[in-house]
Amino acid sequence: MKKSKIFLLVLIIILTNLITFNLGRNLNSYTLAANKGDVDKIESDQVNKLIYLENYINSYYLRDVTKEDLYTGQLKGMVAALNDPYSQYLTEEEFNELMEDTTGTFFGIGVYISSSNGYVTVVSPIRNTPAEEAGLLPGDIILKVDGVEVSGEDVSKASKLIKGKKGTDVLLTIVRKDENEKPNTFDLKVRRDEIEVITVNSKTLENNILYISISQFNDNTYKEFAQALEEIKADTKGIILDLRSNPGGLLDACRNVADTLLPEGLIYYTKDRQGQIIDEGISDANMVDLPMVTLINGGSASASEILSGALRDHKRSILIGEKSFGKGVVQTINRFSTRDGIKLTISEYFTPNGISIHEKGIVPDVEVKLDDKTTIIGVENLENDNQLQRAIEELKKII
């Protein structure tokens, strides 16, 4: 798409908003605006306003600013006006960085962040990365990166500052609420490393229980998951599925994993802005038929909530841990011919029983709060992971 076409799109949407505003004030004005001459006049007024504002900034703003910066700001501002933390206009560089999260290796600390209430908020640390080892937790607010203030209005800025060369340190200023909801501010130093996203980890535990953790859903997840299932033997008694601190990812990968674990039926469905069903995930009759328990926490979001919600609705698994994050909307990612692009919320998903979890989360069947002293979760830290210990106990009752 040529820049001129994108700019025209900006003007058309601004025009649409202005007409809607006039409708609320005066129905006659709306009727008049439908005439071509009035539409042309309104469009011309908007162009003049943008030109005037650009000239004013260039004349009086304290710092130097390029035309490209202002143009990018216009596009970002349009998407930001949606007040949706999951929708974002992406420059070419930002688009490439987003693709890294689902396909490759990068250098950083291994943490997923998003905008929440105007702050840069940790969705979850990636399992077995410096972020987890340093003790970052879901819900932590990042105020500064190496002394530079960051805000939820520009999460990409925070991401760029956090990433860096392998072996270098980054200093994060964190706000974390204690058990009494009192905010505490402290600095946390984390050493950057090469983050290779291996999404599935598995191990056979005592009593022939197969433990499988999924840290996110990316291009390789289903292949890795299928390889983990090869550890199932004739004497395997049950499965513990660990979705804690899994921020989601690719819906296709989630659907394939769910299909393997669920009986024939609905996995999820999505509705668009008109309330029409636009997508359904369906599982076939083939499934791994072993007793299951599933672990979730406040970092379990999006696709991991789709999977855990489907497992519960089908009475396929007991959910253990803490309430999930509550991201129940779906985004599409599109790249323009100019190499920039957009991530846009287009639908809301529902569990098989028709439950929306957006901004609500999923409450587990067995609530277990992680011990405060425990920062690393999973089979590598079984002796201190009280949630995993409880999962083993509950699964033993079933088998």
- Model pLDDT for residues 294-341, shown as the tens digit of each residue: 999 999 999 999 999 999 999 999 999 999 999 999 999 999 999 999
327 is catalytic: yes
pLDDT for the residue numbered 195 = 84
Is 154 in the active site? no
109-157: pLDDT as tens digits = 999 898 888 899 998 888 789 999 999 998 899 999 999 999 988 888 8
Q: Which of 302, 304, 317, 324 is catalytic?
A: 302
pLDDT band at 37 (very low <50, low <70, confident <90, very high): low
Residue of 114, 124, 259, 327 marked catalytic: 327
Q: Residue 288 CB: number of other CB atoms within 10 A?
A: 13
DSSP 92: H
Nearest 5°: phi and psi at 212?
A: -130, 125
Q: What is the pTM of this model?
A: 0.71
pLDDT in tens, 212-271: 999 999 999 999 999 999 999 999 999 999 999 999 999 999 999 999 999 999 999 999
**Cα separation, 295 vs 211, whole angstroms:** 11
Catalytic residue (one of 140, 242, 259, 313): 313
